[in-house]
Structure 1
Amino acid sequence: MTTNSASTTSPDVLRYTAFATDPAGGNPAGIVLDASGLDEAAMLGIAAEVGYSESAFLIRGSGSTSGSGSGSGSGEGVRSYDVRYFSPRAEVSFCGHATVAAAVALAEQGLGAGDFAFSTQVGIVPVTVTDADGTLRATLTSVEPHIEEVTAADLAEALAALDWPAADLDPELPPRIAYAGARHLILAAATRTRLADLSYDFERLAALMRRLDLTTVQLIWREAEFTFHARDPFPVGGVVEDPATGAAAAAFGAYARELGLVPAESELTVHQGHDMGRPGVLTVTSREGDPRVRVSGAAVRIPGGS
């Protein structure tokens, strides 16, 4: 186990994929379950070497928390971790798929199902792992979300970078910037064909995203009342597209509820990764009276990934 960025040995890096039960689907994440001896440079170097959109680095917290679990219990016995997330290019304030993957990895590597509390740069994120007939699923509870308008000029620049005519947007789902731990520009395609055709100006979109402090641009198509398809360009992380984006799904859940697109008490299904050949499914849940959003999905270890 490495103790600092100058060490000659490397830490154990697990590789899990989130929001899928097949290792060939979902969104892969690197997981370091004990990053207590790593500095920022070492974490960034590991994330770059792993090459996934994000890797999560965990340090065991000082003790249990109380009442922070996203499940139905009182929060007794919640296991606490400090967590940092890195893309191949930079640190990321919060990452949903790596959170799901890390929680399942903890459960599978000996801690078992139950409640965890991840202390992140954006706040405490409760995570509950359940075991349904041998399939481990994790549910994260977002920090409190908010939604904001996007200016006409910024919208025009985003569409130009994507090479999307404004007429290809769905007028029923207006553009917004949504936050539930990270900021995402939400743009809704009027057709599945529009969503499937993604070829964008990488550097131009990245420049806009850096200026607006966006983590991804979430491109959405509504298939049915509670069923959506998503794609998430992620050039600021050095990745053309994210296969399954938990933080964006949480932001989208808040967006859909605030704009009255779905009831305050609702469960949405978001399909992502199909256009990349890595299909994944994210379940997004809102509860009446609770502004936070819950995102659930399975996660499995990638064979040979360590």
Structure 2
Amino acid sequence: MEVLRYSAFTKEAWGGNPAGVVLNAKGLSSADMAAIAKEVGYSETAFVLPADGPEFDVRYFSPGIEVPFCGHATIAAAVAYAHRHGVGDLKLRTKAGVIGVRTAVDAAGWCTATLTSVPPRTAGVTDAQIEDLLALLGWEASELDLRLPPRATYAGAWHLVLAAATRSRLARLDYDMPKLTRLMERHGWVTVNLVWRESSTVFHARNPFPTGGVFEDPATGAAAAALGGYLRDRRLIPLPAEVTVLQGHDMGRPSSITVDIPEEPGTGIGITGTAVPI
């Protein structure tokens, strides 16, 4: 068994979101995977179980929990597979559903991967839930951009979208990990997706992930896909659209996620990025 290390949504090993990748996890138990992910220490490690042809079962473990789907580890695993076996189409069976992935080499020679999420959906949240979250983050209600109302969003895992009115508010992040973990576990949120809208097609994001034992994720493909579904569901941008999510800059690990949002309701959201070996 070999544990590869790739950083996703970046062209530099010091940027993006690092992920562990095990391309052949055959014979590993759940306990084995959990222990390996904890030892690797990244926000997620993807364990690929070869099946028939270009179809694979994939499981994702953070240092703290198993998650049903992880975008950046999917991009990392797909690029790692392409580096070993060549580019093409893959079908990944995850606990969230079947994810299609296409790898290619762009004009500059970079290997890219594009995943298509499961159908996204959104759900309302209560005033009490938002009040509790704001208190834990140290944010005031007056600091929110209510043109992007808080919603629970899903594209393989649940994320709470909370929009800051200013970039400076987004830049300041401090919270109590155990307390936020308990709140998120109570409501089934895998991350909190804090965003600021620079323009109709450029968003900045930060993703607290205490439920997985990580203070913050520097690039979160699953949350970006869920954000795409939210923007479509709420008709907040002209469709179809290509949106760029910039994440990790406040952590010193800049990343860029391309989000393709089809106009048709219920269709999966496309997430594209590069990945490089660490």
Q: TM-score, structure 1 length as denominator? A: 0.89
Encode CA deviations 1:58-79: one digit per residue, 9 max, x unaligned. 011123xxxxxxxxxxxxxxx1
The answer to whether the aligner puts 1:235 opposite 2:205 as a matched pair is no
Between structure 1 and structure 2, the one with the greater Rg is 1
Aligned to 1:193: 168
| Partner of residue 126, structure 1 | 100
Please tell me whether the aligned partners of residues 232 and 263 of structure 2 are also in contact (alpha carbons under 8 angstroms): no
Distance in 2 separating the partners of 1:264 and 1:116? 27
Distance in 1, matches of 2:105 and 2:260, equals: 19
Of residues 281, 291, 297 in structure 1, which corresponds to 2:273? 297
* SS of residue in 1 equivalent to 2:259: strand
> Cα deviation per residue 1:82-134 (whole Å; 9 max; x = unaligned)?
0000000111110000000000000001x111100110001100000010132
Residue 23 of structure 1 is aligned with which of 13, 21, 24?
Answer: 13
**Distance (Å, rounded) in 2 between the aligned partners of 1:61 and 1:87:** 23
Give distance in 2, aligned partners of 1:202 and 1:289: 38
Match status 1:117 vs 2:91: yes
CA distance in 2, matches of 1:214, 1:288: 26
Number of residue pairs aligned between Structure 1 and Structure 2: 276
**SS of the residue 2:48 aligns to:** strand
Taking every aligned residue pair, what percent have the same amino acid on both sides?
A: 55
Deviations along 1:225-267, whole A, 9 cap, x unmatched? 1000000000000000000000000000000111111123000
Pairing of 1:2-17 with structure 2 (within 5 A) = 11-17=1-7
**Corresponding position of 1:40:** 30
CA RMSD of aligned residues (A): 0.8
Q: How does 1:1-306 map to 2 (within 5 A)?
A: 11-63=1-53, 79-109=54-84, 111-132=85-106, 133-289=108-264, 291-302=267-278
**Alignment partner of 1:224: what SS?**
coil
SS of residue in 2 equivalent to 1:150: coil
Shift in Å, 1:153: 0.7
2:82 match: secondary structure? helix
For residues 154 and 200 of structure 2, what CA distance do their matches in structure 1 show?
22
- Pairwise CA distance, 1:37: 1.0
Name the aligned partner's letter for residue 104 of structure 2.
T
5+ long unaligned stretches in structure 2: none
Q: 1:270 is aligned with what amino acid?
A: V
Deviates more, 1:199-208 or 1:94-103: 199-208
